[in-house]
């Protein structure tokens, strides 16, 4: 069976958020290379399909990465194996195997699920042609690094075997065109339009529109000509680009090595000591913080508080730097990203005061949307006219 997928791929330091063929997938951005399958006895392969992302095991043969068998995402994190993750402030995403491996695995998994949904049986082999938009941190994005990352996907056919228990499904992936943009900039598409291409409305804007007395029929058209300072807070970096309408203003590119991950890494040894573990990965701490029902949640929050305050102050200073460079000629500050959820109670008052004194509005994206903003924007971008024009320009002979 042959498919064509659009993919908006946000390869975050902590979480991998991507929209494949319209399906949102959110997984820890980790994997581990292993020597064999975790399953010994025969199980019906159909039983693996629905929850495939939670127990994803693949074998990859690709010109872009080291071949091998991998546990992906949550399954890797919970396996007890030594995991590979992105070292914040150290690793260059464009040079790493992890973003490539996890992307190929997740796209192949969706292909297996789609074929099963359409046919009612496990179909193979599968071939998927992928149009994809993805991103690199502003601090790592150059013409050279973007082109290098694009080439790793586009350089040949990627063979992925998806393991449904002991049953193997062969998936062949090819990427005719991939576009790599600076992180945070795709969010301008998310703010303006919904998945159907209409002006966005609803809960994303509720607090913002109420705060500034704009409740009546407020929608994404408000942002079409606005100058926005973005604060995209991740685990290992925060990006502060400025956009105007749909334009990315290159002269205001700025990013810093601050984020929730630094606070988590600083607090992690004390957290491990308190819960009597010799060691646990950053992603485990992150999962505990995200889950209010976890027995260690309150302890994790308390351990994190002091180191979080120091990261917040650094982010506010960087935002002031950008505003000074722009002579305060910014209509609003928009804050999002996984780190913004953890930092909200500490960061919001600082930014609100800053915005009020400089006559700037503040849109602090609600937690239900904060992590998805880049993936939603990348998905909108890959389906849009700009992406199609760039693709046509590449395929046309000189």
Q: CA-to-CA distance for 252 and 243, rounded, in angstroms?
A: 9
pLDDT digits (tens, 9 = 90+) for 300-331: 888 888 888 989 999 999 999 999 999 999 99
Residue 62: per-residue pLDDT: 96
Q: Which of 240, 219, 211 is nearest to 228 (CA)?
A: 240
Q: How many residues appear in the chain?
A: 398
Q: Say whether 287 sits in a helix, a strand or coil.
A: helix
pLDDT digits (tens, 9 = 90+) for 265-278: 889 988 888 888 88
Residue 396: per-residue pLDDT: 66
Residue 51: per-residue pLDDT: 93
Per the CATH hierarchy, to which homologous superfamily does domain 187-371 belong? ATPase, nucleotide binding domain (3.30.420.40)
Residue extents of the structural domains in the chain: 2-182, 187-371
> If you average pLDDT over residues 334-358, what whole number do you get?
94
Same fold yes or no, 2-182 and 187-371: yes
Burial of 110: CB neighbours in 10 Å, binned 0-12, 13-18, 19+? buried
Tokens standing for residue 190: 């998310």
Residue 89: per-residue pLDDT: 60
The domain made up of 2-182 has a fold known as Nucleotidyltransferase; domain 5 (3.30.420)
Binning pLDDT at 50, 70 and 90, where does residue 205 land?
A: very high
């Amino acid at each position: 069976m042959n498919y064509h997928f659009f993919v908006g791929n946000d390869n975050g330091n902590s979480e991998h958020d991507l929209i494949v063929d319209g399906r949102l997938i959110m997984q820890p951005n980790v994997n581990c290379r292993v020597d064999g399958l975790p399953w010994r006895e025969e199980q019906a392969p159909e039983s693996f399909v629905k929850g495939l992302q939670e127990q994803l095991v693949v074998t990859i043969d690709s010109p872009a990465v080291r071949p091998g068998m991998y546990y992906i995402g949550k399954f890797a994190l919970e396996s007890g194996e030594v995991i590979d993750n992105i070292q914040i402030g150290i690793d260059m995403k464009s040079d790493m195997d992890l973003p490539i491996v996890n992307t190929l695995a997740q796209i192949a998994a969706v292909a297996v699920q789609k074929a099963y949904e359409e046919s009612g049986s496990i179909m193979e082999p599968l071939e998927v042609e992928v149009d994809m938009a993805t991103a690199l941190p502003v601090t790592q994005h150059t013409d050279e690094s973007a082109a290098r990352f694009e080439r790793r996907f586009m350089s040949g056919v990627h063979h992925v075997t998806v393991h449904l228990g002991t049953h193997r499904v062969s998936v062949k992936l090819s990427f005719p065109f991939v576009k790599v943009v600076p992180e945070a900039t795709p969010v301008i598409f998310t703010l303006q339009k919904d998945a159907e291409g209409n002006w966005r409305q609803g809960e994303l804007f509720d607090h913002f529109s109420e705060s500034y007395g704009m409740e009546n029929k407020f929608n994404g058209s408000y942002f079409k000509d606005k100058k926005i300072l973005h604060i995209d807070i991740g685990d290992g970096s925060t990006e502060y680009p400025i956009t105007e309408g749909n334009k990315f203003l290159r002269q205001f590119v700025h990013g810093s090595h601050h984020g929730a991950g630094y606070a988590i890494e600083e607090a992690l040894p004390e957290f491990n000591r308190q819960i009597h573990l010799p060691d646990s990965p950053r992603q485990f701490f992150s999962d505990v913080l995200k889950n209010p029902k976890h027995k260690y949640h309150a302890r994790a929050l308390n351990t994190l508080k002091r180191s979080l305050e120091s990261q917040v102050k650094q982010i506010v200073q960087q935002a002031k730097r950008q505003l000074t460079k722009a002579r305060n000629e910014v209509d609003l500050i928009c804050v999002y990203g996984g780190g913004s959820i953890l930092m909200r109670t500490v960061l919001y008052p600082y930014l609100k005061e800053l915005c009020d004194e400089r006559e700037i509005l503040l849109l602090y994206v609600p937690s239900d949307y904060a992590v998805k903003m880049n993936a939603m924007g990348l998905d909108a971008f890959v389906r849009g006219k700009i992406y199609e024009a760039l693709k046509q320009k590449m395929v046309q002979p000189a």
